A and B are shown apart, each in its own frame.
Chain A
Amino acid sequence: MVATITAFAFEVAPAIAILPLASFVIALFAGKYLPKRGALAGIAATGGSLLLSLWVALTVAGGATYNEEIYSLVTTPNTFDLHFGLLLDPLSALMLVIVSLVSFLVHLFSLGYMNDEGEAGLPRYYAGLGLFSFSMLAFVFADNLFMSFVFFELVGLCSWLLIGHWYREDAPPSAAKKAFLVTRFGDYFFLVGVVAIFATFGTTVFAGPESFPTLAEEALAGSGGAGGGAGGLSTFGFGPGAWFTILGFLVLGGVIGKSAQFPLHTWLPDAMEGPTPVSALIHAATMVAAGVYLVARMYGFYALSPTTLAVIAFVGGFTALFAASMAVVKRDIKQVLAYSTISQYGYMMLGLGAGGYVAAVFHLMTHAFFKALLFLGAGAVIIAMHHRQDMWEMGGLKERLPIPYYAFLSGSLALAGIFPFAGFWSKDEILFEALVHGIGGSPLLLGGYLMGLTAVVFTGFYTFRMVLLTFHGEPRTHTARNPHDLGWSVKTPLAVLGILAATAGFVNMVPVGTILGLERIELLHGWLDHGISGLTVEHYGELTHDFAGYTTGALAGSEVLTVLLSAGISLALALAGAGLAWMLYSGPNPEAHTERLGDVRTLLMNNYYQDEYQVWIAETFGTGVARLSDRFDQSIVDGAVNGVSEVSLLSGDRIRRIQTGIVSNYATLLTLGLVVLLLTVGLAGGWFL
């Protein structure tokens, strides 16, 4: 009986993605005629997805997993097949719950943000949200890299549709195009990587004995050295280790684009031009999360390559610091949040690169909650402020908007990493992993650790600068004195997420567990440690230990001391940043202290001129390539076409001259032809011998 229910839960699992797809169709074709323009269909669909996801998660918690092909696109004997399938293990089940929950709350919030504000194009908006949720959910339970790629691209398409929602204004379409193009640049490498993985392993399945991480592991273990093909795999002349590193980098291109890591992060701040609920969805659960999730999904493959791991860790650590520094000077509340998103995803990448698989997934989860909360809180503030986003026009909203304030505060504490909010536990675990693996024999990781640690100060500072400027002090404008009322559809998601942001960290309290010796308190660790063999934390730990040489070290030889020290340092730094913000901005009428930074402020306001140099590169190389292509097109393609017609014209003009109209000439030609024919046939047939 239990087995039947388990099987049934997995049977209906595709509906998790199909439901939002149905809401997409409904909103698109019937949205105009529905009372809330498709919102209710979307809420119902994502609500259904959430319930199904929870059911699947419960089933997975019971120890069952599912890894089946459900629809085959192309099957070729002996080479490879392209198929869609379901992989339901603890990781994907967890992510399904996160995505469908955030998506559900965003739909709910949109009622207040879009419907009540009388926005135009609502059916289009809800259709976009539905398709977005569908793509992300299908991406999450994909069982192979090919399917992941398909839905990865669909996610990109949806972000383009939604960021450019207000397409009549100037900025949103341009931001949408930028997001699309920049992520496409990364996805280009991803596509090459998918094809290369197909060519190498003949499969892109994530899990099972025939999956590509397993094959790669066997190849590396079997060859035991440099040179040559490994275990029947074609590695194109490279040693297997080097080739797997190249493959990892190719796929990483897509990850860096989607997860907005340096240097492809520039699209994300511009994506703030989209409606705020969309920003919440993009940043918390769907688009940006897709990149990190992909690395976690194929972590068994990345764990084999120390170079790739080091690069992931370094890029992550650098991005965390880099983005946090830019967030310090922004005036727009959504810009601050955008840079904090980049920074937080940097932490996740650092965690993954440092061998902290659980830590990164943990942070992915807590970040989904508190960042969705912060964006929705910012959305609530924006509604209240009649669509003003400049923090210097706000102030003193604390008394007037109590529920958003406390929710936002909860999210901010989580973001800054203040004990005991969610962000503290997950961020601390990432830093802890980087530290212990850094001490334990991979000193490179200490660099990433230091960057991450520095970013903690910035994070604390900009988070509280944002909170203080927005909610504390005296109202600085008329609008801030008389904010717009907020409906239940705005407050409910904030309340739910506020509680989650405060409490989600308790599922994996590593410091507490270590100090008290309670292994069982690390629930998430245990959760990710069961399921399909080869996709467990324990296995990943062995892989990083065996192939990347990650060993756990400890300060002064004491694990407890290390844990305490790591947690203490990061908490102290976060409090220092927050305290600095409090000192500078807590008064009734705070001054714009960042003005005093002078040139540094200009540099930060201009985002280190990242856009400028990327545009310069694009223009220089793009124009060059375009000019070459144009020349190629004009001379070779057009030349060939024109040449053909030129040749026929000319030859026609010449050849018609033999049509003299004089019978004798025709007869001569006929005879000549006959002679030639006779000679040819005769010589070939040997008549003259």
Chain B
Amino acid sequence: MPTRPHLNLGSHLLPGLVALALFAVLAAVFLTSSFGEAAGFPTDVSITANIGYALIDLQRLGTIPTDGFLAALLIIAVVLDAALDGAVMLAKREGDEKLIGIESTRTDGGRPRDSAAGGTDSGSVSDTASDTRTGTNTEEAN
């Protein structure tokens, strides 16, 4: 039988009131403050092009003031790579999870598992990692 979403009311919604309260406070602050007229951007230049220049520290080619972000770009690349590696590592099935780090961070209180598998898949993991890295790079290049 197909289900459809239904509103689940109950006491578990109570903490949500805090979020509403936060919104009320924020709104009260924002609406009572004034920031003056917006400076805006010139209409005759390409903002996207300027962003592109800023990403690779070529902002002197553009006209809108900005900082250079080459270092940040490289760092975020590495971070994404590491995140993917980590995601894959976490997502490995326990049957063949005998990998770096996992052994010591069991979340079930450290009870030993009876399956004695492991070690053989390290090659395939690194393959996957290199694959994904390629993929990531491709994405970023876009």
A–B touching in complex (CB under 8 Å): yes
How far, in whole Å, are A688 and B30 apart by their CA atoms in the complex? Answer: 9
A668 to B26, CA, bound (A): 17
Of the candidates B18, B19, B26, B32, which one forms a contact with A689 in the assembled complex, judged by CB atoms under 8 Å apart?
Answer: B32
Instruction: Assess whether A589 is interfacial by the CB under 8 Å rule.
Output: no
The smallest C-beta distance from A673 to any residue of chain B, in angstroms, reads 10
A664 vs B16: C-alpha distance when bound (angstroms): 10
- A639-678 vs B, CB cutoff 8 Å, 1 = contact: the mask equals 0000000000000000000000000110110011011001
Give, as a whole number of angstroms, the nearest-CB distance from B108 to chain A: 14
**A672 B29 Cβ-Cβ under 8 A:** no
Taken together as a complex, chains A and B put the C-alpha atoms of A22 and B109 apart, in Å, by: 75
Name the residue in B25, B26, B28 with the highest tally of chain A Cβ atoms < 10 Å from its Cβ.
Answer: B25
B18:A671 contact, CB within 8 angstroms:
yes
List, in ascending order, chain A residues with CB within 8 A of B18's CB: 668, 671-672, 675
Q: Would you call B15 an interface residue if the criterion is a C-beta within 8 Å of the partner chain's C-beta atoms? A: yes
Shortest Cβ distance from B12 into A: residue: A664
One of A668, A679, A687, A688 near B15 (C-beta < 8 A): A668
Q: A674 contacts which chain B residues (CB < 8 A)?
A: 22
Tell me whether A675 and B25 are in contact (CB under 8 A).
Answer: yes
Instruction: Determine the residue in chain A with the shortest Cβ distance to B26.
Output: A678
Q: Name the one of A672, A675, A679, A687 contacting B33, with C-beta atoms under 8 angstroms.
A: A687
Q: Which residues from B are CB-within-8-Å of A687?
A: 28-29, 32-33
- Complex interface: chain A residues within 8 A of B15 (CB): 664-665, 667-668, 671
Chain A interface residue bracket vs B: 10 to 19
Chain A residues near B19 (CB-CB < 8 A): 671
Contact at B28–A675, with CB atoms within 8 Å?
no
Whether A679 and B32, one on each chain, are in contact in the complex, defined by CB atoms closer than 8 angstroms, is: no
Q: With a CB–CB cut-off of 8 A, which chain B residues contact A682?
A: 25, 29
Decide if A678 touches B32 in the complex (CB within 8 Å).
no
Selected contact of A671 from candidates B22, B28, B33, CB within 8 Å: B22
B24 shortest CB reach to chain A, Å: 9
User: Given A664-B15, A668-B15, A688–B22 Cβ distance below 8 Å?
Assistant: no
- The CA-CA distance from A672 to B29 in the complex, in Å, is 17
- Complex-state Cα separation, A668 to B29, whole angstroms: 21
Asked if B141 is at the interface (CB within 8 A of a chain A CB), the reply is: no
Write the chain A residue with the least CB distance to B21. Answer: A675
- Report B-chain residues with C-beta under 8 Å of the C-beta of A689: 32
- Min CB distance B23 to A, Å, is 10
Residues of B within 8 A of A671 (CB): 15, 18-19, 22
User: Could you tell me the distance in whole angstroms from the C-beta of A660 to the nearest C-beta in chain B?
Assistant: 12
Residue of A nearest to B31 (CB): A688
Q: A687 to B26, alpha carbons, bound, how many Å? A: 10
Task: Give chain B residues whose Cβ lies under 8 Å from the Cβ of A675.
Answer: 18, 21-22, 25
The docked-state distance in angstroms from the alpha carbon of A274 to that of B19 is 88
B26 contacts across to A, CB distance below 8 A: 678
The minimal Cβ–Cβ distance linking A663 to chain B, given in whole angstroms, is: 11
Q: How far is the CB of A476 from chain B (nearest CB, A)?
A: 97
Closest to B24 in A: A675
Give the residues in chain A near B33, CB-CB below 8 Å.
Answer: 687
Interface membership of chain B positions 74-98, coded 1 if the CB is closer than 8 angstroms to chain A and 0 otherwise:
0000000000000000000000000
Complex CA–CA separation, A674 to B29 (angstroms): 14
| C-alpha spacing A668/B19, complex, angstroms | 8
* Least CB distance, B22 to chain A, in whole angstroms: 5
Structural contact, A688 and B21, CB atoms closer than 8 A: no
Contact with B along A236-258 (1 / 0, CB 8 A): 00000000000000000000000
A668 CA to B17 CA in the complex, in Å?
Answer: 10
Interface flags for B30-45 (1: CB within 8 Å of A; 0: not) read 0011000000000000
Q: Closest approach, in angstroms, between the C-beta of A494 and any C-beta of chain B?
A: 94
Query: In the complex, which of the residues B26, B28, B33 has the most CB atoms of chain A within 10 Å of its own CB atom?
Result: B28
Complex Cα distance, B30 from A682, in Å, reads 12
Closest to A674 in B: B22
With a cutoff of 8 Å between Cβ atoms, the chain B residues found around residue A668 in the complex are 15, 18
Give A682 to B25 CA distance when docked, in angstroms: 9
A74 to B25, CA, bound (A): 64
Taking CB as reference atom, which chain B residue is nearest A678?
A: B25
- Complex: how many Å from CA A665 to CA B14? 11
Interchain CA distance A668-B22 in the complex, whole Å: 11
Question: Which of chain A's residues have a CB closer than 8 A to the CB of B29?
Answer: 678, 682, 687-688
Q: Shortest beta-carbon distance, A667 to chain B, in Å?
A: 8
Question: In the complex the two chains form, is B22's CB within 8 Å of A679's CB?
Answer: no
Which residues of B sit under 8 angstroms from A679, Cβ to Cβ?
25
Q: How far is the CB of B8 from chain A (nearest CB, A)?
A: 15
B118 to chain A, nearest CB (A): 30
Bits for A592-617, please: 1 = Cβ < 8 Å to B, else 0.
Answer: 00000000000000000000000000
Contact with B along A303-328 (1 / 0, CB 8 A): 00000000000000000000000000
**Separation of A546 and B21 alpha carbons in the complex (Å):** 89
Q: Which residues of A sit under 8 angstroms from B21, Cβ to Cβ? A: 675
Shortest distance between the CB of B11 and any CB in chain A (Å): 12
Separation in Å of the B21 CB from the closest CB of chain A? 5
CA–CA, A665 and B16, complex, Å: 11
- Given A671-B15, A688-B28; 10 other pairs, CB 8 A cutoff: A667-B15, A668-B15, A668-B18, A671-B19, A671-B22, A675-B18, A675-B22, A678-B22, A678-B25, A682-B29
What is B's interface to A at a CB cutoff of 8 Å? 15, 18-19, 21-22, 25-26, 28-29, 32-33
What would be 24 A-B contacts, judged by CB atoms less than 8 Å apart?
A664-B15, A665-B15, A667-B15, A668-B15, A668-B18, A671-B18, A671-B19, A671-B22, A672-B18, A674-B22, A675-B18, A675-B21, A675-B22, A675-B25, A678-B26, A682-B25, A682-B29, A687-B28, A687-B29, A687-B32, A687-B33, A688-B28, A688-B29, A689-B32
**Interface pairs A-B: 3 shortest CB-CB:** A668-B15, A671-B18, A687-B29
